Amino acid sequence: MSRLILFNKPYGVLTQFTDAEGRETLADYINIKGVYPAGRLDRDSEGLLLLTDDGKLQHNLANPREKTWKQYWVEVEGIPDPSALQQLHNGIELKDGPALPARARLIEPPRLWARNPPVRFRANIPTQWLEIEIREGRNRQVRRMTAAIGFPTLRLVRSRIGQWELGSLQPGHWIEKEVSSPSRVKQAQTRKKRHRQSPASRTKSG
Report d(CA 37, CA 50) in Å as an integer: 6
Residues classed as catalytic: 42
DSSP for residue 150: T
Report d(CA 49, CA 8) in Å as an integer: 6
- Residues 6 or more apart whose Cβ sits within 8 Å of residue 124: none
Pair 122, 158: CB distance under 8 Å:
no
E strand residue ranges, 117-173: 127-134, 153-161, 164-165
